[in-house]
Chain A
Amino acid sequence: MYAFEIDRPMTLADAVKALGAEEAQALGGGQTLIPALKARLAAPARLVSLSGIAGLKGICTADDGALCIGGGTTHAEVAAGAGAYPALAALAANIGDPAVRNRGTIGGSLANNDPSACYPAAVLGSGATVVTTNRKIAADDFFEGMFTTALEDGEIITEVRFPVPAAASYQKFEQPASRFALVGVFVAKYAEGVRVAVTGASEEGVFRWSEAEAALTARFTPDALEGLSLSGEGMISDLHGSGAYRAHLVGVMTRRAVAAAG
């Protein structure tokens, strides 16, 4: 790692101030950023650790029934505390491994927007709202492609608000070495319609599969997806699987998710 300064503010206001410094970067749980720093893929002059800010942690239910999760809440805390949204708790319980889940945070995962991360699928699939120090961002406007989001410099994710669906499931086809999603599909059924979000597959990062959404809104059974498929064009192709293979997996995992959601 290149040398850098590290700050550990105890309040959000101090964190925002510290992030105003030249080449400063926020540090969530560090489970992606620290390996990236070791590989010298990132070289900030200053890291601002958010782990000391108590106000960023915790889970609660809003007046409108939405499940609100603080940006600094760890995957293990979501797995244990998001019982009101079982598909989300199950997703969190299967990220990485236990030690990674004790450090990694929902805000860190979303800000990083790894194309194979699990949380972006839940946030987009739920039509959640990302609340930051500056504004509220709808999930449909938040993800802007691989490792890219609508976040501006110095903007911190303080909370994510998930409307709780009538039924939902996340199905992940794991890349066994990294435990990231080779393909992961989050399906959620709301009164307004069904949402289907796919991670791990596209070179553009997480996306909604609109044909599947329309078919499942009409009829919420795995059979409704009969005849629907995605092209391998624009899908990630690497040593773990070709674009065509990933495109095929999207169909398989979507059917499994619908079957599991019931």
Chain B
Amino acid sequence: MPEVSMTVNGKPAKGQIEGRTLLVDFLRDTLGLTGTHVGCDTSQCGACVVHVDGRAVKACTMFAAEAEGAEVRTIEGMAEPDGTLHPIQQAFQDHHGLQCGFCTPGMVMSAAALLAENPTPSEAEIRDYLEGNICRCTGYHNIVKAILAASGQDVSRIAAE
């Protein structure tokens, strides 16, 4: 079997793969990083979003072999080593941006990609950017609110209080 090597959350990672091994399976099964979830496995739901070379991608729709040499960041790479949550994670907690939590890793990674591109997005821009991230619990309002809050903006006026 061929070998693939990449950097995951700042650390070198390598392992044996098959041609058909998806990036998400390499992360979860080979590296044990099970924070990245597989929801639909058909690139609809976004639970598997990670960053590859700084860009949000669906890890269920990319082969591990294609990440050779890449810098990958997963939800496990967001908090500080001492456990202090990333500001986006903290905002999800503060604003109740999750219920069952299954979609949350993908939501947080998409939100991080959005804020890297657009540090102060409007509510409409946030909703638009989350087009490919599906949540079946929250109705999205508190997710949007958490992302607005994480960007340092006022969240007092957002709908569905």
Residues of chain A touching chain B, judged by Cβ–Cβ distance below 8 Å, are 1-6, 8, 27, 30-31, 34-35, 37-38, 46-47, 49, 51-52, 76, 96-100, 102-103, 177, 179
Contacts of B68 in A (CB 8 A): 8, 52
Which 6 pairs between the two chains have the least Cβ-Cβ distance? A97-B132, A6-B19, A97-B131, A102-B55, A1-B20, A99-B58
- A100→B65 CA distance, assembly (Å): 18
- A1→B22 CA distance, assembly (Å): 10
Pick from B20, B41, B65: contact of A8, CB below 8 A. Answer: B65
Contacts of A1 in B (CB 8 A): 20
CB-CB contacts of B1-39 with A at 8 A, as 1s and 0s?
A: 010000000000000001110100000000000000000
Most buried by A among B43, B46, B56: B43
Contacts of A96 in B (CB 8 A): 132
Secondary structure at the B interface, as helix, strand, loop or mixed, is mixed
Pick from B2, B41, B56, B61: contact of A98, CB below 8 A. Answer: B56
B131–A38 CB distance below 8 A = no
CB-CB contacts of B40-74 with A at 8 A, as 1s and 0s?
A: 01111010010000011110011101101000000
B63–A98 CB distance below 8 A = no
B18–A99 CB distance below 8 A = no
Given contacts A31-B61, A49-B65, contact A100 B19 (CB under 8 A): no
A76–B20 CB distance below 8 A = no
Given contacts A38-B42, A98-B113, contact A103 B57 (CB under 8 A): yes
- B142 CB within 8 Å of chain A: no
A31–B43 CB distance below 8 A = yes
A4–B56 CB distance below 8 A = no
B83 to A: closest C-beta gap in Å: 28
Residues of chain B touching chain A, judged by Cβ–Cβ distance below 8 Å, are 2, 18-20, 22, 41-44, 46, 49, 55-58, 61-63, 65-66, 68, 110, 113-114, 129, 131-133
Pick from A4, A5, A49, A98: contact of B129, CB below 8 A. Answer: A98
B64 to A: closest C-beta gap in Å: 9
B114 to A: closest C-beta gap in Å: 8
B101 to A: closest C-beta gap in Å: 20
Pick from A27, A99, A177: contact of B57, CB below 8 A. Answer: A99
Pick from B41, B56, B63, B113: contact of A6, CB below 8 A. Answer: B63
Closest residue of B by beta carbon distance from A34: B61
A99–B132 CB distance below 8 A = yes
Closest residue of B by beta carbon distance from A176: B131
Pick from B20, B58, B66: contact of A100, CB below 8 A. Answer: B58
- A96→B131 CA distance, assembly (Å): 8
B19–A35 CB distance below 8 A = no
B132–A103 CB distance below 8 A = no
Closest residue of B by beta carbon distance from A47: B19
- A31→B66 CA distance, assembly (Å): 13
Given contacts A38-B42, A49-B66, A99-B56, contact A30 B61 (CB under 8 A): yes
Closest residue of A by beta carbon distance from B65: A6
- A2→B18 CA distance, assembly (Å): 11
Contacts of A97 in B (CB 8 A): 46, 131-133
| 11 A-B pairs whose Cβ atoms sit less than 8 Å apart in the complex | A6-B63, A30-B66, A31-B43, A46-B19, A47-B19, A52-B66, A98-B129, A99-B56, A99-B110, A177-B44, A179-B131
Pick from B46, B63, B132: contact of A34, CB below 8 A. Answer: B63
- A129→B102 CA distance, assembly (Å): 45
Given contacts A3-B20, A30-B63, contact A98 B43 (CB under 8 A): no
Contacts of B114 in A (CB 8 A): 98
Pick from A8, A34, A47, A49: contact of B43, CB below 8 A. Answer: A34
Given contacts A8-B66, A34-B61, A35-B61, contact A99 B49 (CB under 8 A): yes
B49–A3 CB distance below 8 A = no
